[in-house]
Amino acid sequence: MIYRTKPASYAIDLTMTGYIRSNLNLPDIRGYTDSYIIRPLSALLTSSTPDLLTILLLAILLLVSLKILDYARRLVMFWVSLAISVVYYASLIGAAYGIYYYATLEGGWDRAMNDAGWVYGLVQGFVEDFQVSEAAAAGGYGGYKSARGQGRGQKNAYSGW
């Protein structure tokens, strides 16, 4: 068997621009951008006295780059919000399917509703404990000093009971 090896330049060229250009027959635009964009801009920006055209060009360049960054930010935020909403709705559908599966196979709808009420009470207790601990950390409840926030089962320090 004859094995064909890749040229040494293939391993060195990490960007693979030459490989992509040769396989897709893309034109080389470096000469165009260098002669028509890069050289005139560098000559204009490196002049000894900054004139109004240079300042205007830099302002336009700043605005274009900010527009590109705004587009990139909106694009990222769209995909992140789409992923969050897909996970949210998938969890809702999964929970509904789990309740349906549990209700039909394990013990009926009454037991499923009892268990759902127990889970709701558990979550509500966690939320209330979090709110009380946050109020105690803030120095009171709702901005006022109060006796709340000592936790359950502890004596109130102000009333003595």
pLDDT at res. 39: 78
Q: Evaluate whether residue 59 is within a structural domain.
A: yes
pLDDT at res. 4: 57
pLDDT at res. 22: 60
Range of the domain at 54: 29-135
Total domain count, the chain: 1
Q: Evaluate whether residue 152 is within a structural domain.
A: no
Q: Evaluate whether residue 45 is within a structural domain.
A: yes
Q: Evaluate whether residue 127 is within a structural domain.
A: yes
Q: What percent of the chain is modeled with pLDDT above 70?
A: 60
Q: Convert the chain into a string of H (helix), E (strand) and C (coil).
A: CCCCCCCHHHHHCCCCHHHHHHHHCCCCCHHHHHHHHHHHHHHHHCCCCCCHHHHHHHHHHHHHHHHHHHHHHHHHHHHHHHHHHHHHHHHHHHHHHHHHHHHHHHHHHHHHHHHHHHHHHHHHHHHHHHHHHHHHHCCCECCECCCCCCCCCCCCCCCCC
Q: Evaluate whether residue 1 is within a structural domain.
A: no
Q: 36-65: per-residue pLDDT in tens?
A: 677 777 777 776 666 787 788 888 989 999
Q: Evaluate whether residue 2 is within a structural domain.
A: no
pTM of the model: 0.42
Q: Evaluate whether residue 140 is within a structural domain.
A: no
Query: Which range, 2-11, 43-52, 71-80, is most confident?
Result: 71-80
Q: Evaluate whether residue 33 is within a structural domain.
A: yes
Model confidence at 131, pLDDT cuts 50, 70, 90, reads confident
Model confidence at 93, pLDDT cuts 50, 70, 90, reads very high
Query: Which range, 33-37, 138-142, 155-159, is most confident?
Result: 33-37
